[in-house]
Chain A
Amino acid sequence: MIVAKRKPIEEIKELLSGYQKVLNVGCGTCVSVCLVGGEKEVNILNAEIEMSRKMEDNPIEMGAACVERQCDREFLAALDDKVGEYEALMSMACGVGIQFLAERFPDKPVLPAVNTTGLAVNQDIGWYEERCRSCGNCVLGWTAGICPVTMCAKSLYNGPCGGTNKGSCEIHTDQPCAWHMIYERLSQQGRLDLLMKVHPANDWQDIGPRTLIQPGYEKTVEEGQKK
């Protein structure tokens, strides 16, 4: 899922300075599951902001809303009647959701309350580890299901480098070396020959904004553009 981290309260307050009435919009999907931007977190942040501004003798009214998915027009429509009464919107969704909210309401300033940190797995309650950089060119088939682009600090395609340290990455002893893990798992599977190939310089896909149209839907896009 997409995971995010709340911005420091000082930064959020800086973004909100100058506004007296703001609607904070949470998202009920990924950021809700990773405990950063769901209904509960919206209410907690709002209380914190209102309290802090009140103490500074500069009160602010924070409205609360939470849509099922901020990356979906259908759900954003639920806010259409609400936003008019606010000076600005704050979003606790991932970067995708924040932008779609801003696109829906182009007249309103939209302020992010979280930093999107990546595509991660849930290791335990509140503990998430990044696993995918959505590079657009998946190599997991020959890397034993371990992503070197994400898990290797140098994103090497022909690792491991000379800095492996008893199974750890050179950047930190707590960070396992991706290539060490790949080696171990391929060895276990009897597939080490996969590592002998020199993999050529990568054809990077994430070098500009990408649009994805699934096969069979090209016509829908054409019609949409005409409209």
Chain B
Amino acid sequence: MKSGSNLEKILEAGHFAFTGELGPPRGANAEEVRKKAAFLKGNVDSVNITDNQTAMVRMSSWASCILLLQEGIEPNYQMVCRDRNRLAMQSDILGAYAHGIRNILCLSGDHCKFGDHPQAKGVFDVDSMQLIAMVKQMRDEEKFLSGAELDGAPKMFIGAAANPFADPFEWRVHRLAKKIAAGVDFIQTQCIYNMEKFREYIKQANDMGLTEKAYVLAGVTPMKSVGMAKYMKNKVPGMDVPDEIIQRLQGVDKKKQGEEGIKIAVEQIEEFKEMKGVAGVHLMAIEWEHKVPEIAEMAKVLPRPKVD
């Protein structure tokens, strides 16, 4: 065991993992975190806490992670390269581990331009690949990036994101290989809508032996409406939403679009359970945390297994 996190135990035991996500509030409202977390408790193996997602200032990821720990939920600490240099990153990782955080997801981070402080200077002292390598070095070699020894190594289960759809498509599986070479234990992919392309991607990953080296969790985000689907298709960089998805949502009554979106997500999860190379699903129900119990139920991933 590298970290002993629940997520690692579930995956090691060969269970199909099911992880969730929670966006911290735009303020110091801890109650909001607890409220959202309640919907996730018992329904997922670990909950990703986003780190100033879309470059909007929110309650810090590690602080929200601690709130989850207090509620008896395992967090997955997301860390982006945009807001901190290597000193701040390493000290936050040490602090997070000291508080009981055992999973970390290493990300580049959306550009500041998208957020509420577009004038901010993006740090990017290290990139996501280098962050992965840095956390691995801290964990396995018990050394800081500088090479100096650590007094108490943070034994983290190291994750990263992968976008199978952003171009150049041919390069994406190699980028996955690179993240594995840098030291990731698990991958959570970008939201998948183009299943055909994802099947091709995971086949490439299987053929290259990558899915044996790291656990790949397929990213699922249920569409709430036609509007959301169109927004994802046209406005979110690197997102691939086929027209069939939009047409299917358009085919039902406006009030039922959310229901249809959940149906699509459940069908996807059913397929991922059977797909070679997919070790689990990462459900990103964006501002829809209260729907997670229903989706988990419909996708027949409950009860969540317990591994000691």
Contact = CB atoms under 8 A, between A and B. Distances in A.
In the A-B complex, list the 6 residue pairs whose CB atoms are closest, starting with the nearest: A162-B163, A158-B129, A170-B237, A163-B237, A165-B237, A201-B130
Interface in B79-116: 81-82, 86, 108-111, 113-114
Given A156-B124, A158-B130, A200-B130, A163 B86 contact: no
B171 A201 contact: no
B181 interface: yes
A101 B125 CA distance: 34
B229 to A, nearest CB: 17
Interface of A: 153-168, 170-171, 180, 183-184, 192, 195-196, 198-202, 204
B238 A180 contact: no
Contacts of A200: 130, 133
Given A163-B166, A183-B168, A195-B174, A156 B238 contact: no
A204 B126 CA distance: 10
A156 B108 contact: yes
B111 A156 contact: no
Main secondary structure of the interface of A (DSSP, over half): loop
B39 to A, nearest CB: 27
Contacts of A161: 108, 128, 166
A163 B128 CA distance: 13
Nearest to A153: B111
B124 A171 contact: no
B127 A159 contact: yes
Given A165-B237, A183-B171, A196-B178, A160 B129 contact: no
A154 B167 contact: no
B127 A157 contact: yes
Given A195-B174, A198-B182, A166 B134 contact: no
Contacts of A153: 111, 113, 122
Given A155-B124, A198-B178, A201-B134, A160 B171 contact: yes
Nearest to B134: A201
A201 B237 contact: no
Most buried by A among B113, B166, B190: B166
B238 A164 contact: yes
Given A161-B108, A201-B86, 13 more contacts: A153-B122, A154-B81, A154-B82, A156-B127, A161-B128, A163-B111, A164-B238, A165-B238, A170-B238, A171-B111, A184-B168, A198-B133, A198-B178
